Amino acid sequence: MTGRATPEAGPVVAATVAGREFLPRARVLADSLARWHPELPIVLLYTGRAPHLEGVTSHPFTEVVPIEALGLPDLAQRVFRCSSMELAVSAKELILSLLLDRGFERALFLDADLLLLARLDDLLAQLENCDLLLTPHHLAPLAGPDRIAREVAVLRAGTINGGVYGVRRGEPARAFLGWWRERMRLRGERRPEAGLHHDQRWLDLGRCFVERVGIVRDPGINVAYWNLPERPIGASDGRFTAAGCPLRLFHFSGFDPRAPEQLSRHAPSIPTSALGPGAAFARDYAEAILAAERAAPWSDDWDRFDDGTPIPDIARALYRGLGDEVGRFGDPFRTAGASAFLAWLMAPEEDDHDPVAFIPRLWRGVVRARPDLVGAFPDPLGRDRGRLLAWTRTSGTRELEIPETLLPPAVR
């Protein structure tokens, strides 16, 4: 850790979470916070491995807390169960709880891909009078020919956006954070078909459990591609506006600094030029991220087994599906020994009796997760076995980004 944010610095603290991929964005966020709120400390919870902290422990953060320093008894299981995005989402609760434990009266969480463009005094004042502060995706019914489709999309993703949270120290916030911790640990994945979208769908339910919930209704807070038609960007007296109000927080969700002409990969039809005069700060934002990347290049951290084998998404999904049974594997990153999770993945299921051309659990899981493969290989242990094995080598590894070292032994 570097530095230490303490209540003596003030009653309010800001926090963000980032791993290797989002660290440059977190730096740009912290720089913008320091510009508009130099009195406000900002704490980064770094979700990568601590040995990769070189260069992280300097300005602009007040403090950097490695996730390994939190003493989580299930850390290895938690980080293996999650993708990097899922881990960052689940870690929001961890950093807010830590800061409340330190005695801060109020803690404001900001996603790493946010940018401050003005002060947040009204938002911070609102947090004084509620236990939980949330920002909705929209503030009024939508208009236009695509209004229903856009509202349905929000219903699927969650009516509350996960980018900006505020909590006030006290039992209501503690109870909410404890509930949220369990839900994020067990079901924090993004599976829209199962009614899950990281933390956002849970927030739709969780806000019902807190009596004093504040809803941010400032149109200049959490402006993004999803509400841009209702909050057009303008400029007045040298300051940016959204729907005629001061633009304070812009959310660059899905923005790629290497393709700055597109506002978000989540909405390919919206060009950055749709920001109007705001296209200028988007260009500056892209350049700032790229500069931060050059200043601190990063290597892989939680995305490989301990022998260097990349961990495919299907391996994490199968691990999650085992629930509490994963305890028998111990550290899931370990590859040595017959009791390792990787050994379980690469072994045949109990109904597969072919000792040579067996289909490993990993690849049986791949087929079950894709209806098109179920249709293509309806009898994977019988007449379709040979074709399935051939597919794993010719197309499967490429389509699913599974390393060749995890191919079935019969086709390596």
Write the CB contacts of 238 (distance below 8 Å, at least 6 apart in sequence).
Answer: none
pLDDT at 51 over 80: no
Distance of CA 292 to the CA centre of its chain: 20
Structure tokens at 370: 């894709």
Higher pLDDT: 254 or 57? It is 254
**pLDDT tens figures, 173-183:** 999 888 888 77
Based on the number of CB atoms within 10 Å of its own CB, is 114 exposed (0-12), middle (13-18) or buried (19 or more)? buried
For 112-133, the pLDDT digits (tens) are 999 999 999 999 999 999 999 9
How are beta strands 249-251 and 114-116 bridged, if at all?
A: antiparallel
Q: Are 111 and 16 in contact (CB under 8 A)?
A: yes
Q: What is the pLDDT of residue 346?
A: 97
Strand partners, 107: 13, 167
> What is the DSSP annotation of 296-339?
S-----TTB-TTS-B--HHHHHHHHHTGGGGGGGSSTT--SSTT
What are the DSSP calls for 3-26, one per residue?
Answer: S---GGG-SEEEEEEE-TTTHHHH
Sequence spans of domains, the chain: 7-295, 313-411
What are the pLDDT digits (tens) for 13-43?
A: 999 999 888 999 999 999 999 999 999 999 9
For the chain, how big is the Rg over CA atoms in Å?
A: 23
What are the φ/ψ torsions at residue 127 (nearest 5 degrees)? -70, -20
Rounded distance, CA 378 to CA 389, Å?
13
- Would you state the structure tokens that stand for residue 22, as one six-digit string? 């989002």
Any bridge partners for residue 132, and if so which?
A: 167, 213
Which letter does DSSP use for residue 133 in this model?
Answer: E
CATH number for the segment(s) 7-295 = 3.90.550.10
pLDDT in tens, 4-18: 777 776 799 999 999
